[in-house]
Structure 1
């Protein structure tokens, strides 16, 4: 098939939505390891193998998606689908990459919460310990990349303290705003380089409309949901706001979702953390954890509503921002502010590592030892997260016996 590519690297059959769906479905079935690993899979598939875009354009796209709220790897996939097949291509890319893990987690939710499936004693606790190791690994990896230098470390610590003192969605957004101000004032990027960007078939008017719809839903859904008794509308509102307000990717979604479903009494905290730990073992985006939560609360309809709601902001932002990206990325002041936000994201994740993960999962010195061994397995032994989840569940069962 690759031999059919034209001089620009485009294979006509790969422009069809069904072809884009199948390509991303295979990635959704095989892309284990989290967002960074997903981006590696994407590079191998679309830069090295299919030549859909250049190395420079791919690096630029990653940079943009890391600056937007939502799951960066899914947004990269949406943008690639959008570039290749327009709006239907973006939807096909999202559906293919999301479907496998969303379906598996939905079935898992039925097994745990609705079908009377009795989990072995100790399994949930073992999965919760694994979640501590996985998030600690994410904090370490992100800090090494995003918190170089004393200024960024200071912003990270400020964000950690701020989120712990003000553990709400509003508090998290306020902390991110302060981090942006510090970045603008203290971090200066003078190395902005203009390069050819990814070709996106979206007019600026369509970009403005997408951004307007993003804001209308963000501001209007809470008002409508407050006046309506429809539980699915309330779920859509809560998960849409989560997808719209989460900076930093999959792991950072944990505190917002925890406050959304556990803090409101919709779901038991143990089930929440067990599902979150199991989501680490899934291929594809971690945001499909929303399917587990929706199915646990309201069955198949809840799973569909929550998955669509949590990813919809990302799609609207990709469509809205990409037409203006060339101008945006050349602005040094914007880049400085976003550098501060990235350091703040690490602080947000560090706060989530302590509360609720550590405080509800690490209950004994043995738990500390197991979490440390899990972290070492991820850091030094390159243990895949799915294997660590499997081992954590087994150890939890054995230790409880």
Structure 2
């Protein structure tokens, strides 16, 4: 059987943790780059799975909401060392960037005066370039034809006209419906797809917990008025509704923490800029936001609540779908729905590029020129994001001094 190579040759939890800790420390460049690092490590170097098995796992992570690269890592850990291996993979891959983002939250007050303010200005401008690159790249991949391009435009209009998470949810639903109607194509069927060792009862339980938290947490937050519950709800909702992971979570997090006034736009974009310079999953940006939010416990505990909340729904959905994945993905309607939802994501991210990213960061000719320079360095020169972050930070200081 195809899965024999991945299930019989088990790994220890410690081995899984150390491998993913190394990846979490060295994997720069966002979720697409992470998947490349993973393939090199698990397919080429360690022979933990073959290319076909790895492609199955990547396809599943792309199908579900949540952080794609972290879900792939969670799946690899599950295959190699069971449930504790999945947790070890998540902690190892997430810990380095989460620690760096929380450290920045504690040290943000150091960025005072002309130089510090210039650094923060530069980080916000870098965010413009990086989000623009994400929109450009995703549009080429996810909207290759007229129907999906039209869905993206409608999603953009919906998000701009309906402010907050309501507009983003509506855009995803419209995209899914549009995909069901306009994006049907030949069914991709593979009889030898990867099978995961997850029982159906465990899958159903995971889906039930996912739904209970999504529906029940906002009710509890409203009834109790507890800031920690409200914080968990905002980040859980963002993690539950983001398709594609990475930069796509930006508008959902912005709606969750900036719109209610827990975090300012300037703080949000400064943290987002720093998140580009650290390795590991971009979702650890949530740790920074939870640490500085004006609701909930703040600090380390606020960061921990935000991190658990933003990652948890993606993992619950992954565990819930694993026992049924091979059967479900063969349906043409399921594939069509995902094509439409993915196209809608492009429109949602394009709306976020305009507001709050562009409108907050680009305030004069100098900031616009620096944003263009950073974009060209990313797209044409193919420089790593962390290098562009350094260029943007230096440019921000120069603009501040001038």
Q: Which among 235, 247, 250 is matched to residue 246 of structure 2? A: 250
| Aligned 8 A contact 2:178 2:340 in 1 | yes
| Aligned 8 A contact 1:189 1:333 in 2 | no
| Aligned 8 A contact 2:238 2:310 in 1 | yes
Kindly state the Cα deviation for residue 345 of structure 1 after the two structures are TM-superposed.
0.7
Q: Which among 90, 106, 118 is matched to residue 86 of structure 2? A: 90
Kindly state the Cα deviation for residue 10 of structure 1 after the two structures are TM-superposed.
6.5
Hey, what's the Cα distance between the residues in 2 that align with 1:60 and 1:228?
43
CA displacement, residues 359-378 of structure 1 (integer Å, 9 cap, x when unaligned): 11111222222211111111
| Aligned 8 A contact 2:374 2:391 in 1 | no
| Aligned 8 A contact 1:98 1:285 in 2 | yes
TM-score (norm 2): 0.94
| Aligned 8 A contact 1:295 1:303 in 2 | yes
CA displacement, residues 93-120 of structure 1 (integer Å, 9 cap, x when unaligned): 110110000001101100114x786662
Match of 1:356 in 2: 356
| Aligned 8 A contact 2:25 2:279 in 1 | yes
Match of 1:328 in 2: 328
Match of 1:264 in 2: 260
CA RMSD of aligned residues (A): 1.7
Match of 2:174 in 1: 178
Match of 1:3 in 2: none
SS of aligned partner of 1:18: helix
Hey, what's the Cα distance between the residues in 1 that align with 2:72 and 2:4?
23
Kindly state the Cα deviation for residue 8 of structure 1 after the two structures are TM-superposed.
2.1
The 5 Å alignment of 1:1-400 reads 8=5, 15-113=11-109, 120-297=116-293, 298-400=298-400
| Aligned 8 A contact 1:111 1:117 in 2 | no
Hey, what's the Cα distance between the residues in 1 that align with 2:111 and 2:155?
41
TM-score (norm 1): 0.94
Kindly state the Cα deviation for residue 301 of structure 1 after the two structures are TM-superposed.
0.6
Hey, what's the Cα distance between the residues in 2 that align with 1:44 and 1:282?
20
SS of aligned partner of 1:199: coil
Kindly state the Cα deviation for residue 227 of structure 1 after the two structures are TM-superposed.
2.1
Kindly state the Cα deviation for residue 391 of structure 1 after the two structures are TM-superposed.
1.1
Deviates more, 1:46-55 or 1:25-34: 46-55
Structure 2 alignment gaps of length 5 or more:
none
Hey, what's the Cα distance between the residues in 1 that align with 2:121 and 2:37?
32
| Aligned 8 A contact 2:18 2:92 in 1 | yes
Hey, what's the Cα distance between the residues in 2 that align with 1:189 and 1:7?
32
Hey, what's the Cα distance between the residues in 2 that align with 1:301 and 1:10?
37
Hey, what's the Cα distance between the residues in 2 that align with 1:90 and 1:169?
30
Count of aligned pairs: 394
Hey, what's the Cα distance between the residues in 2 that align with 1:302 and 1:170?
25
Hey, what's the Cα distance between the residues in 2 that align with 1:62 and 1:316?
17
Kindly state the Cα deviation for residue 228 of structure 1 after the two structures are TM-superposed.
2.1
Hey, what's the Cα distance between the residues in 1 that align with 2:4 and 2:240?
38
Hey, what's the Cα distance between the residues in 2 that align with 1:151 and 1:220?
36
Structure 1 alignment gaps of length 5 or more:
1-5
